[in-house]
Amino acid sequence: EALIVGIAATVVWPLSLPRSLTALRYVCVLSVLAICLTAIAVACKAPGYAQAKGGLDMEADPLEAEEAWELKWWNPDPASAMQSFSISLFAFAAHTNAVPVATSLRRADGYSIWCVSLYSVCIEVVFYAIMGLGGYLSFRGLTKQDFILNYRNDDVGMFLVRCIYGVVVCLGAPINLSPAASSILGLLGCSTHGRRSRASHCAVVTVVIVSCACVAIWNEHIADVIGLIGSSFGSLIVLAWPAMIYRKTLFQLHPPLIARFVFYSLSCAAALGFAAFLTQAVIAWHG
């Protein structure tokens, strides 16, 4: 708890206060390198951990051990499926590269924006699939919500991955937090200029960081937290708002069949995301 509070107070909070993020632009490259390094490390270590059965003690309780090591390609639990869907939304919505990329594409044509969006999503799918499959095949039923914690503490390679990701999170959070604070002030109708605006910006940043630190201290189940965030904010950012924008701006420009397919697909997925949020919220409340 002390480490979380210390990092939030001494690193994340000061870096999130300025509105200019030019000094942190190189962190985006570090984030991509961290994802690549993690995928490579997980894929390379998967055979060794799988052969050792993830460090599972097969002699303590053979039946329970066999059940934990059983390979399951599908979980029939609807709540787990909804949580996985929510985490996927969060994964594709929260990226430190989003802000600088959006800024660079401000004057780009539609084709360039389409290509960047398509290629980036395809690359994300590849790397997330490698990490997801590698992590699950290494530990199977023993996989923790933060699967990096499954690796041994004396594993030097994964220790380096943890260190790099720690730096990425600490320096990458301000890249998303500072624009988010400005957006919140804009939605509230506050002025974006002057001393009062700077004070409001600092207040919003402080409230968000304190809230995040409290959640991190209170709840160690990272998948539950990400699932709730992904199904709420992720559904809005990735599905609901794009559906509304598409309906008002692009619906009439596309053939009717394609337009209806795109719009109703986004709308149904958004409804599924909100249903996932309600399901996870009820489970968390009663759990």
DSSP codes joined into one string, 169-183 = HHHHHHHHHHHHHHH
Q: Is 100 exposed, middle or buried (0-12, 13-18, 19+ CB in 10 A)?
A: middle
16 CB burial (10 A radius; 0-12, 13-18, 19+): buried
- Burial (CB < 10 A; 0-12, 13-18, 19+), residue 172, is buried
Q: How far apart are CA 18 and CA 13, in angstroms?
A: 10
- Cα 212 to its chain centre, rounded Å, is 14
Q: CB-based burial of residue 153 (10 Å sphere; 0-12 exposed, 13-18 middle, 19+ buried)?
A: exposed
CA 181 to chain centre: 18
pTM of the model: 0.76
Q: Where are the domains of the chain?
A: 15-69+76-175, 220-287
230-248 residue pLDDT tens = 999 889 988 999 999 999 9
Distance CA 37, CA 48 (A): 18
CB 237 within 8 A of CB 92: no
Of 87, 79, 64, the C-alpha closest to 141 is: 64
pLDDT in tens, the chain (287 residues): 677 678 777 888 888 877 666 656 666 677 778 888 899 999 999 999 888 887 776 566 667 777 778 888 888 888 888 888 998 888 877 665 555 566 667 777 777 878 887 888 888 889 889 999 999 999 988 888 888 888 988 888 888 888 888 887 787 778 778 777 777 777 777 765 667 778 888 888 899 888 888 888 887 788 888 899 899 988 998 899 999 999 998 899 889 999 999 999 999 999 999 999 999 999 888 86
- Give the Cα separation of 70 and 111 in Å (integer): 46
